[in-house]
Amino acid sequence: MAQYAMVIDLQRCVGCGACSVACKNENNLTEGILWSNKITKTEGTFPYVRYHYLPTLCNHCENAPCVTGCPTKAMHKLKNGITMHDPNKCIGCRYCMFNCPYGVIYFNWEKAQKFWEDDEAVIKGCTASPKEQTQKVGGGAFPYYNPEREETLDGIRRAGVVEKCTFCDHRVKKGKLPYCVEACPADARIFGDLDDPNSKVSFLIGKYHQFRLKEDLGTEPKVYYIRSFSHTHYQSTKGGI
């Protein structure tokens, strides 16, 4: 069985956020939930300032604290290494959010995508109401609803349960790449089987110095970061006092 992992090449990543947008579309994510997210940091003081951008998602840890802590096995590991969530078994205790050291699990505090049920037009007599718009394109949950998400998980997760990145398991099952990988215009996300020595992820992890987030916690994350973009250079010097 394959053991899936992702390599994020920080030299290629331009921080455009296409991964986050693609993820929201593919997985029908509601407002405030970002399975594919980022950590940004500004370092230094003017005129020597630098902006860092680090894309984040569920790390699908081998020793996942969210899985160990879940009382009903709603959060569980698939044989291919993906950390998956079953909303039917979820009691909404949020212990997984508390246990996750990466801050990548979200909770549905209220009904998702509820604004699309609104009957009132934004501009009366001019625009359609969200509900009308949805009906015009076929009556799904909302106009850009992706029914393929239902193949392995609730299409839209109900209020009172958690949700997180699944490495697009519904696509992977069909031999397709996760949608964030597909959508990345810079090919900064590389996905594959860690157990296959000839896979691209194995090649990149072996060839480049890689790091994972909070490795000291022993969670064995399956998201690896390589390289770092820098357009700057400096004249060789030993400094001075």
Residues at the site binding another protein, with contacts judged by CB under 8 A: 32, 34, 37-40, 56, 65, 68-74, 88-95, 97-104, 106-111, 159-161, 213-214, 217-218
Instruction: Name the residue nearer to another protein (CB basis): 36 or 199.
Output: 36
Rounded to whole angstroms, the Cα distance separating 157 from 153 reads 8
Question: In which residue are the tokens 């296959």 written?
Answer: 196
**Beta carbon nearer to another protein, 76 or 131:** 76
Q: How far is the CB of 66 from another protein (least distance, A)?
A: 9
The phi, psi pair for 190, rounded to 5°, reads -125, 130
CB of 161 to another protein, least distance (A): 6
Alpha helices in 27-178 (DSSP H): 65-69, 95-99, 130-136, 169-172
Looking at the Cβ atoms of 11 and 63, the one nearer to another protein is 63
Give the up-direction half-sphere exposure of residue 160: CA atoms within 13 A in the CB hemisphere. Answer: 4
Q: Output 184 or 192, the one with its CB closest to another protein.
A: 184
Is residue 171 a contact partner of residue 178, using CB atoms and an 8 Å limit? yes
